[in-house]
């Protein structure tokens, strides 16, 4: 697993441990310039910034195993947790991201789906 303090949030589904960027697997949040971008980025920031985060990269037991590549645009794709809570599930439940069924296998129901 990958572990560390989340130091920077890029958008609603990407953050960084110092130089290592993580793409949260199984969800899709609005990108810069899209409606909802700032809300999603703020939601992720309030959830993880400055906190200890543990991530399971694709291939190490994540919900996206065998559905996603390990790397995407110089980011490690991983299922991540803060205080034992699945970050992707929290983002979908709060309405700030959609379950990306192609990669999650439907692991995050209850919100929108992509």
Percent of the chain with pLDDT over 70: 100
| Interval 47-79: pLDDT, tens | 999 999 999 999 999 999 999 999 999 999 999
State the pLDDT confidence band at 112, using cuts at 50, 70 and 90: confident
| Interval 78-99: pLDDT, tens | 999 999 999 999 999 999 999 9
For the chain, how many residues are written?
A: 114
State the pLDDT confidence band at 113, using cuts at 50, 70 and 90: confident
What are the distances in angstroms from CA 16 to CA 4, 9, 12, 29?
A: 9, 6, 12, 16
| Interval 6-61: pLDDT, tens | 999 999 999 999 889 999 999 999 999 999 999 999 999 999 999 999 999 999 99
Tokens of 10: 């890029």
Q: How far apart, in whole angstroms, are the C-alpha atoms of residue 49 and residue 11?
A: 12
């Amino acid at each position: 697993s990958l572990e560390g303090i989340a130091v920077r949030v890029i958008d609603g589904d990407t953050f960084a441990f110092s130089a290592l960027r993580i793409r949260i697997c199984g969800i899709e949040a609005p990108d810069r310039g899209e409606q909802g971008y700032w809300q999603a980025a703020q939601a992720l920031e309030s959830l993880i910034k400055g906190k200890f985060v543990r991530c399971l990269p694709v291939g190490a037991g994540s919900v996206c195993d065998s559905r996603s590549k390990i790397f995407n645009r110089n980011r490690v794709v991983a299922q991540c947790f803060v205080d034992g809570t699945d970050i992707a599930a929290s983002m979908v439940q709060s309405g700030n991201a959609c379950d990306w069924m192609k990669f999650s296998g439907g692991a995050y129901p209850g919100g929108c789906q992509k």
